[in-house]
């Protein structure tokens, strides 16, 4: 689903990512680890199409994503890429189901069709009991799980998460990570999770260690 080849990203006076390469298959979720400044955020930005690399290629679902125009990347991202944020980023005036349905509304679906899609993914991820709750009525872990459901509502081929458990306690962290891995497995999506938490990485398929902008090693999770 995802193939990164010789990716290089720089800013004036500094190379952020250099010759980075790795693959992620359908149903796999890999951890992206590395100290601050190692290039994780820049790499995720390229995977999401939010920035263009200096050189190299990103293939997503057999499409060379890096060759698309900015407008086509935006459309591809809306249809094919899900994003899980560090904070849940839910709109407080909307129910959980309405929040999950938002990407479908952005894709031009009617409100009814979008809600139906949101309910379908909530049901598939066993979160339907939260559908009518507002964010203020949910725990931090529940809100983040709703954020995960929102990332999967369009049936993406790639899901990107940047420190999705950084604000959660250990129990909520486990539930969010397990939800994301099971969703990727069930829907056949590839997942990339940037994290500093070794316990999170241990629950994923394998770990990519970034050092000075390069993938230094790949370790299978136990």
Structural domain boundaries in the chain: 2-92+157-220
- For domain 2-92+157-220, the question of CATH label 3.40.50.300 is answered with yes
Q: What is the CA radius of gyration of the chain?
A: 17
Question: H helices of the chain, where?
Answer: 40-47, 70-80, 96-106, 111-124, 140-152, 170-187, 198-202
| pLDDT, tens only, 25-34 | 999 999 999 8
Cα separation, 106 vs 123, in Å, equals 21
Task: Please state the pTM of the whole predicted model.
Answer: 0.89
| pLDDT, tens only, 85-133 | 888 789 999 999 999 999 999 999 999 999 999 999 999 999 999 999 9
Residues of the chain with pLDDT under 50: none
């Amino acid at each position: 689903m995802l193939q990164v080849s010789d990716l290089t990203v720089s800013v004036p006076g500094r190379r952020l990512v250099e010759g980075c390469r790795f693959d992620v298959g359908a149903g796999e979720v890999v951890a992206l680890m590395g100290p601050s400044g190692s290039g994780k955020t820049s790499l995720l930005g390229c995977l999401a199409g939010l920035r263009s690399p200096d050189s190299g290629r990103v293939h997503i679902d057999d499409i060379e994503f890096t060759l698309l125009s900015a407008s086509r990347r935006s459309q591809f991202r809306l249809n094919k890429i899900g994003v899980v944020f560090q904070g849940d980023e839910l709109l407080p005036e909307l129910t959980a189901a309405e929040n999950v349905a938002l990407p479908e509304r952005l894709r031009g679906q009617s409100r009814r069709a979008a809600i139906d899609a949101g309910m379908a993914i909530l049901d598939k991820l066993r979160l339907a009991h939260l559908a009518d709750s507002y964010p203020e009525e949910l725990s931090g872990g529940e809100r983040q799980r709703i954020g995960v459901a929102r990332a999967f509502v369009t049936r993406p081929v790639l899901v990107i998460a940047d420190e999705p458990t950084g604000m959660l306690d250990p129990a909520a962290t486990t539930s969010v990570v397990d939800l994301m891995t099971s969703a990727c497995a069930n829907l056949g999506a590839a997942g990339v999770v940037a994290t500093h938490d070794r316990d999170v990485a241990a629950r994923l398929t394998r770990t990519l260690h970034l050092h000075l902008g390069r993938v230094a090693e790949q370790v299978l999770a136990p």
